[in-house]
Amino acid sequence: MKNTDSISHVTGKSIYLDDIPVQKGTLHSAVFGSPVAHGKITKLDISKAEAVEGVVKVITYKDITGENQIGGIVEDEPLFAEDEVHFHGMPIALVVAKNETIARKAVGLISAEIKEHEVIIDPREAKEKGHLLIPPRTFKMGDVTQAWEKCEYIFEGTVESGGQEHLYIETQGAYAVPMENGCIKIYSSTQGPTAVQKTVAKVLGVAMHKIEVDVNRLGGGFGGKEDQASAYASMAALAVKVLGKPVKLCLHRHDDIRMTGKRHPYSSDFKIGLSKDLKILAYQTTLYQNGGAATDLSPAIMERTLFHSTNCYFVPNTEVTVFSCKTNLPPNTAFRGFGAPQGAFVIESAISKAALELNVPKKVIQQKNFLNENDEFQYGQIATGVNIGKCLSTLYQKYPIEKLEKEVEEFNSKNHTIKKGFSLMPICFGISFTKTPMNQARALVHIYQDGSIGISTGAIEMGQGVNTKMIQVAARIFSVNTSRIKVESTNTTRVANTSPTAASSGADLNGNATRIACEALLERLKKTASEMLKCSINDITIKDEAVYNKNVKTDIKWAQLVDKAFLDRVCLTENGHYATPIIHFDKTKEKGHPFAYHVYGIAATVVTLDCIRGIYEFDKVLIVHDFGNSINPTIDLGQIEGALIQGIGWMTMEEIAFAKDGRLLSNSLSTYKVPDIYSVPKVVDCTFLEAEGPELAVMRSKAVGEPPFLYGMGAFFAIQNAILAFNPKYKPDFDAPFTPEKVLLRLYS
Ligand code: MTE
Ligand code: LUZ
Ligand code: MOS
């Protein structure tokens, strides 16, 4: 099935937040953010801004009717700064005006006198000074201390990985409209409508039922709107509460890039020990997560780093510790992969280091240490459905990998200023929110009298195609044409208490809820059919919109059956509830079974490096990925491609630069380089692994949103190998992103 949004997208008719027609009298707003990264506000002068013709009010924390608190996990983040600011761009005030131009102009007239404090942007420095967002956590298996003695080889090193700007095409924003009796309806560009509802209710000091959140679709989220959309929705809603008029807030790109959090940069130390036959016996790592100025989702991201710190390898003795460090950056947040890429990058670096030092191909060490069926992860879960080995063998079957490697060698022997590099990047990603209670979802399914169907779930469509998948689930259960089915906007009044659409589990959770609702409705319709045909309900099936009795087609059609059921006063609405079975986790022991299943895959990457200029191009990325029984191969392939390129961007060109004073230097697309059509690999090919999907994946179609982001790491190691082919004296280091500047320095180091 084609993505249901494809036609409206290409004809420009898809409706995003800024396309919603505004009511007469709607006011517009803009945020005044802190001009310094850390300090005490001694004076805030809003008088000049308020005097501007067309400005209605400048709202500050003083106008908050509930709590000035938006922290979702830890209550440590005010909506508006009171007397202290903790990051550059931290919201201090909201100017509300007749139009956006006036609001933005007035923002420039606000002045704040701030006594500046010391600014810390480095996570290790923060840790040294005791600035942690939450206590550190450690995952352990076996005993590393004892294991070192048994190791033939031990290597140590440090690894850096940088932040990443989400760069969703649609910036953060919300449109809040007053309803009767103090209720407010909010259109928000959020992955978490319930998070918005809950946060707004708290900031305004009203019950959640007074707040209705509605989301049609997002122009991308990538994690950036899992939590951080709530702040902007709260500002708009607060302005509605104070002024009684509809208020809209859409961040300009510059403000969005400056004020919102990004992927967490990590700085890490590792120690890896191998036996003589290259089995990894012990792995110990300490990771310093740069959390920014407030906790936001950092504890959950820390947790996923811990879970994925050994990627797809079995390491009998493991000890991993993460420190979540408080710095004066905007609070860092969810970003595709959610801490897993940062964790996996460290063990991949450690294995690379071992391989280079021992002068053996990295793939030999990788392969020798792949997880096997029934191996234990360091968090206690027993690995089942492991097919990383099968991904590798399929890669060699489907693609001439050996030939490719030879070609790279031959090319390098013949060329002096241009070198090629090859890498293999295997991945393993756990599916489920690591916080077990979040793994639940609901779907409200209506069958209308004419036989058409409307589905509401908690899932947010952000380009990943979840709405299309919901339609496919319902179409399969009912065996009706997909054109009969529509997915409604995501709305907290229709589907309440939703988890954000995140953790790649949007389709699994909401799809299973949809399945459950549809199955219940189908049973009722079958009963009606059996009454019409005076036969047993067990003999009834529905296939391609027709009713069958003992597999014999009758002349009763879907629409007719629905009509009869309605006349018989059968309920044609059902609410399906799904909670992932089996999963659990005990934080006191750091052991359990947190994931419904794991996603595996492997990518081979070839890069061509210009050794005069330090610039590079990717010739090929060849992937074997485990989709299970993909419900929509076209959409899933799009997810692979998008995630791969996003991962390559993170590893190569996307460099976030902060000045020492905490000001973001890479604050626009002229200074922050993201992959474009010219930087994508010349060939990207993906083979679908032949494997039966797990029962806990919706229709056995595995979650796909985040895992392929990790393939991008192959780019880093391919470049590293190309540098080594040119400069054998280069002592490999691990400092992503591998920008052309850094590459050039290493070519001649
Ligand atoms: N694809 C597009 N086009 N846009 C997005 O914002 N977000 C990614 C991924 N793919 C995203 C995307 C992230 S971070 C997640 S968690 C999943 O989609 C969420 O959707 P799913 O759970 O339905 O896969
Ligand atoms: N969000 C979250 C996530 O709250 N918990 C998770 O485990 C997670 N994983 C990936 C992305 N977002
Ligand atoms: Mo994705 S980082 O789980 O929104």
SS3 content of the chain, % helix, strand, coil (to 5): 35, 25, 40
Does the beta carbon of 191 sit less than 6 angstroms from any atom of ligand 3? yes
Q: From CA 174, how far away is CA 16, in angstroms rounded? A: 11
Contacts (Cβ under 8 Å, ≥6 apart) of 40: 83, 84, 114, 115, 117
Q: Is the CB of 94 under 6 A from ligand 2?
A: no
Question: What dihedral do alpha carbons 409, 410, 415, 417 form, nearest 10°?
Answer: -10
- Nearest atom in ligand 3 to 503's CA: 3
Catalytic residue (choose from 149, 531, 706, 741):
706
Nearest-CA residue for atom 7 of ligand 2: 433
- Ligand 2 centre distance from Cα of residue 338 (Å): 6
Say how many Å lie between the CA of residue 504 and the centre of ligand 1: 6
Rounded to whole angstroms, how far apart are CA atoms 356 and 348?
12
**pTM of this prediction?**
0.98
> Which residue has 């996003």 as its token pair?
646
Helix count and strand count (H, E) for the chain? 19, 30
Q: Does residue 297 have its Cβ closer than 6 Å to ligand 1?
A: no
Say if CB 58 and CB 49 are below 8 A apart. Answer: yes
Torsion sign (Cα): 726, 728, 729, 730: positive
- Mean pLDDT, range 501-515, rounded to an integer: 98
- Could you report the per-residue pLDDT of 185-212, keeping only the tens digit for each? 999 999 999 999 999 999 999 999 999 9
What percent of the chain stands above pLDDT 70?
100
Return the pLDDT at 369: 98
Residue nearest to atom 9 of ligand 2 (CA): 503
Regarding the beta carbon of 334 and ligand 2, being less than 6 Å apart is answered yes
| Residue bearing tokens 């399969």 | 476
Q: What is the pLDDT of residues 87-116, one digit of tens each?
A: 999 999 999 999 999 999 999 999 999 999
pLDDT in tens, 384-443: 999 999 999 999 999 999 999 999 999 999 999 999 999 999 999 999 999 999 999 999
- What is residue 317's predicted lDDT score, i.e. its pLDDT? 98
pLDDT in the model for residue 340: 99
CB 320 within 8 A of CB 270: no
pLDDT at 527: 98
Q: Whose CA is nearest to atom 18 of ligand 1?
A: 705
C-beta of residue 159 within 8 angstroms of C-beta of residue 734: yes
Q: Which of 226, 307, 431, 509 to mutate to test the pocket of ligand 3 (most atoms within 8 A of CB)?
A: 226
Is the shortest distance between the CB of 300 and ligand 2 below 6 Å? yes
Is the CB–ligand 3 distance for residue 434 below 6 Å? no
Is the omega angle on the peptide bond into residue 737 within 30 degrees of 0, that is, cis?
yes
Q: Provide mean pLDDT across the span 164-181.
A: 98
Domain architecture of the chain: domains with CATH = 23-118+166-259 (3.30.365.10), 266-434+588-747 (3.30.365.10), 440-579 (3.30.365.10)
Residue among 168, 298, 466, 706 whose CB has most ligand 3 atoms within 8 A, to mutate: 706
Among the bound ligands, the one closest to the CA of 218: 1
Res 666: pLDDT: 97
For the CA of 221, the nearest ligand: 1
C-beta of 441 in contact with ligand 1 (< 6 A): no
Burial class (CB within 10 angstroms; exposed 0-12, middle 13-18, buried 19+) of 287: buried
**Residue 40 pLDDT level (bands cut at 50, 70, 90):** very high
CA of 624 to the centre of ligand 2 (A): 25
Q: Which atom of ligand 3 has the smallest separation from the CA of 500?
A: 4
Residue 239's pLDDT band, with cuts at 50, 70 and 90, is very high
Burial 85-111, CB ≥16 within 10 A → b, else e: bbbbbbbbbbbbbeebebbbbbbebbe
Question: Distances in Å between the alpha carbon of 553 and those of 476, 535, 542, 543?
Answer: 18, 14, 9, 9
Clarify whether 149 is annotated catalytic.
Answer: no
Answer yes or no: is the C-beta of 704 below 6 A from any ligand 3 atom: no
pLDDT at 561: 98
pLDDT tens digit sequence for 608-649: 999 999 999 999 999 999 999 999 999 999 999 999 999 999
Each residue's pLDDT tens digit, 440-479: 999 999 999 999 999 999 999 999 999 999 999 999 999 9
